[in-house]
Amino acid sequence: MTDTAQLRRQLANGITDQGLTEPAWRKAVEDVPREVFLSEAVFRQGRDPQGLTVYEPLRRHQVPEEEWLVMAYRNETWVTQVGGVDAADATGPVHGLPTSSSTLPSLVVRMLEAAGIADGDRVREIGTGTGYSTAVLCHRLGDDLVTSVEIDRAAGARARKALHGLGYTPTLIVGDGLDERQPGTDFDRIVATCSVRSIPYPWLWQLRPGGTITTCLSGWMQASGLVHLTLQDDGTASGRFTGEQTAFMLARPHQPPPRPTFTMHAGVARQTGLDPSRLWSWTGRFLAQLAAPSAELLGAGAQAILLDTATGSQAWTEPARAGWTVHQRGPLPLWDAVERTFERWEKAGAPEQDQFGLTVNGDEQRVWIGAPGGPSWLLPV
C-alpha cells in the first residue's frame, strides 16, 4: 500500500527547499490529504491534431492507485474544470480555458505565507476551487476563522463534500466573491486564489482597518503580479508587489469578452525602437498591460499583436531592415501607449516588478514605481 504520509512529507520537503519558512504551513502540507480534493478525475493538457491545446480527462480508475497518489502529491496544478465542464463529467477531450483547478501546493502555501497570516486571524478566501487551500487554512487556523467563496456551483459542492468528509467545516459560500453582497465583515486577511484586473471595492469594506489583501493582479494580456495591500484608517489600501512570478486564472467577472477573429490590417505604419520581444518578459508584459489594459496580447518573438476588443483597435509589429515596423489602426493607438510606458519605466531605472506598488482609494487605483507619487498607471475599475 502507498504510504501517503511519506508522499506528503516529500512534498513538504520540496516546498521548504523552495523557500517556505513557516512550520505551521509545512505541517498543513504534511497533514492535508490532497488526493481527496482531486476527487475522481483531473484534466491533462495536450495538443489536438490541429496543434490546438486540448484537455483530456484522466479518471482515477484508469491508472493504478499508486500512480494516482504520486500524481496527487506532485507539486503541480491539476486542472479539474475546463470551460465549465468538470473532468469527472467529460466524455472526451475538451477545448477551452481552465475554469477551476487544484493550484500547485507550493503556490498555495507561499501565498498564505505572503499574506502574513497569524494564529487567530479571520481569513476570507476567494476561489475555493477543489477546497485544498481551504483545508490548509482550516488546519492552521481552525474552521471558525475561515470563510471561502466559490462562484462555481458544481466546484463549490465538490469542495464542500471533500472538506466535510475530512471533518473541516469552514463557512463555505457559493457566489461571486467580488460582489459586495457576500456576508461577513471585519476580516483580518483576504486572500484570492483567482486573480483580478483591479481590486474589488467590497474587499476593502469587508476588512478591518489594518487588515490585508493578498492577490494576483492580472489582466487581459495575462501579465500577473502578486500584491499585498494593507487597509489604512482613511480607507485607502496600499502595498507592494512581491515580485514572485505567480499567476492564477482570472476571476470570472473580470475575464475578457470573446475575441473576434483577428484580421491584420496595414493601418498606419511607422518605425519603432521598442523591441517587441521585450513584451514577453514577466515585467515587460506587465508594463504593456498597464499601458493598454483593455487590449489582449498575441504573437511571439518580434511579432507582437495588440488587440482591443471594445474599440477594434489593433497594433502589430514586424521585423524591418533596421529595427521593427509597427502598424496601428483604430481609435486607440495601442503601440504608442506601450512605447510611452516603456520610456517612463526606463527613466525610472527599469526596475523589476518587486519595485512596483499599488494604491487603491475611493476615486482610483494606481500602480506606481518606487513609492506612491512615483511614475504611475491607472487600473481599469
Ligand X SMILES: C[S@@+](CC[C@H](N)C(=O)[O-])C[C@H]1O[C@@H](n2cnc3c(N)ncnc32)[C@H](O)[C@@H]1O
Q: Which stretch binds ligand X (CB under 6 A): 42-50, 121-129, 208-216, 353-361?
A: 121-129
Nearer Cβ to ligand X (137/237):
137
Cell numbers describing residue 244: 514572485
- Interface with ligand X, residue 278, by CB under 6 A: no
Is 101 known to be catalytic?
yes
Q: Which is catalytic among the residues 101, 102, 133, 313?
A: 101
- Interface with ligand X, residue 108, by CB under 6 A: yes
- Interface with ligand X, residue 155, by CB under 6 A: yes
- Interface with ligand X, residue 246, by CB under 6 A: no
Identify the residue among 29, 69, 79, 194 touching ligand X (CB under 6 A).
194
Q: Which stretch binds ligand X (CB under 6 A): 122-130, 183-191, 224-232, 295-303?
A: 122-130
- Interface with ligand X, residue 219, by CB under 6 A: no
Q: What minimum distance in Å lies between the beta carbon of 133 and ligand X?
A: 3
Q: Which stretch binds ligand X (CB under 6 A): 5-13, 60-68, 143-151, 319-327?
A: 143-151
Identify the residue among 178, 226, 307, 338 touching ligand X (CB under 6 A).
178
Site for ligand X in 322-351 (CB under 6 A): none
Catalytic residue annotation: 101
Residues that bind ligand X (CB under 6 A): 99-103, 108, 126-127, 129-130, 132-133, 149-152, 155, 176-178, 193-194, 248-249, 251-253
